[in-house]
Amino acid sequence: MPKRYVKELTIHRRHLPHWEFLGAMYFITFNLKDPTLCDFSRDDVAPVILEAFAHYANERYYLCDHTVMPDHAHTILQPIVRDGRVEQLGDMVGDIKGYTAHKINELLGRKGALWLDESYDRIVRDREEYEEKAKYIFENPVKAGLVKRGEDWKWWRPGIPPPKEDG
């Protein structure tokens, strides 16, 4: 399938609204279709998801903070602008989900859908919101009772934050 690109504000909807804008950064949540299928935080599964996030980093997008939880994953990323356009977020997310579903299903000896069809995405509007989302990602394992401190969660990775705004 040929790549699709965004040149200006694009809004489309499945069940959730998806807004895309040239140069925008996104907070994205990927959810497991059925929590009985797998625990994403297993030592053999979580690295597959982290590697998939990192695979296209600095090629298709800039990868910021990200984590893998037992039944979902979060990331903040910013698609790379080239020639005044960016690849559609849905294509990037689809590639991540497709690759990880294939690899994880192979590990589990199963077939079929692994992720919910639709992921949640939100445009990160400014530095303050970026810091709020990064903190949420960092503290998510603590709030879930998986660790006492965010830095103890082995499936969290810090990213490169956006540059500070002038002013």
**First-last CA distance in the chain:** 43
What is the rounded average pLDDT for all residues in the chain?
88
DSSP state of 151: G
Residue 26 in contact with residue 121, Cβ under 8 Å?
yes
The pair of three-digit structure tokens given for residue 24, joined into one six-digit string: 């925008």
Tell me whether residue 165 is in a domain.
no
Tell me whether residue 69 is in a domain.
yes
Q: Which residues pair with 74 in a beta bridge?
A: 29, 67
Task: Count Cα neighbours of 73 within 13 Å in the Cβ-side half-sphere.
Answer: 34
Give residue 110's pLDDT.
95
Total count of domains within the chain = 1
Helix (H, G, I), strand (E, B) or coil at 40: coil
Tell me whether residue 9 is in a domain.
no
Q: pLDDT by residue (tens digit) across 45-54?
A: 999 999 999 9
Domain carrying residue 25: 16-155
Tell me whether residue 74 is in a domain.
yes
Tell me whether residue 112 is in a domain.
yes
CA distance 132 to 90: 23
Tell me whether residue 84 is in a domain.
yes
Q: pLDDT by residue (tens digit) across 111-158?
A: 999 999 889 999 998 889 999 999 999 999 999 999 999 999 999 999
- Could you tell me the pLDDT band of residue 10, with boundaries at 50, 70 and 90? low
- The residue among 33, 31, 6 whose CA lies nearest residue 20 is 6
Sorted by sequence, the CB contacts under 8 Å of residue 102 that are 6+ apart come out as: none
Residue 92 in contact with residue 56, Cβ under 8 Å?
yes
Give residue 151's pLDDT.
95
Tell me whether residue 161 is in a domain.
no
CATH of the domain at 79: 3.30.70.1290
Tell me whether residue 119 is in a domain.
yes
